[in-house]
Amino acid sequence: FNNSGTVNLNAGTLTFGGGGSSSSSIVVQSGATLRLTSSGWTLTGSAGLSGAGTISIDSGTWNFPAGTFTPTGAVNFNGGTVTINNAFTPSGPLVINNTLNFTTDQTFASVTLNGTLGGSGNVTITGTLVWNGGSMQGTGRTILAAGSTASVSASSVNLRRVLDNSGTFTYSDGALFFD
């Protein structure tokens, strides 16, 4: 599937897993789901993903240039490696089960970390951080805002970036490594 027009995904699930590309916008409406399952399908030029529907990235390597990743619905980072070069505001908690890199500052109400949070962008958490496994790395900082809570309970987690805590940080199990 090669797209140089506009795709409006109004309902159901559209999965891109094979070859092809998009050089224009894909809008995922509320109630619809877009799944990216392979880096064999690419976004080029000013292609963008937006909308209030669900976007699930299940595998592959994805680099979203500035201004091209602007969903407002649920976003699931299930696999692969993803780099996002602009701020975005998903609905609900941000769940990271893959490697997710930010090159610009982000603010999220809720983050569940099972994979790797990395990159040069600062990530501010204003509500809850549930750290079940994986690592935080990169030159950016993770900032727990005043009033936020962090819960770390895992067999092993690695902190390889600055963590600024102005909230409540609770560590209850496993091994926490500050590298």
Which residues are CB-contacts of 109 (< 8 A; sequence separation ≥ 6)? 93, 125, 126, 127, 128
Q: Residue 73's pLDDT band (boundaries 50, 70, 90)?
A: very high
Can you give the pLDDT at residue 109? 97
Phi/psi at 46 (5° precision): -100, 25
Token code pair at residue 40: 């064999």
pLDDT tens for 102-141 read: 999 999 999 999 999 999 999 999 999 999 999 999 999 9
Name, in order, each residue with C-beta under 8 angstroms of 59's C-beta and a sequence gap of 6 or more.
36, 37, 38, 39, 78, 79, 80
The whole-angstrom separation of Cα 96 and Cα 75 is 9
Looking at every residue in the chain, the average pLDDT score rounds to 93
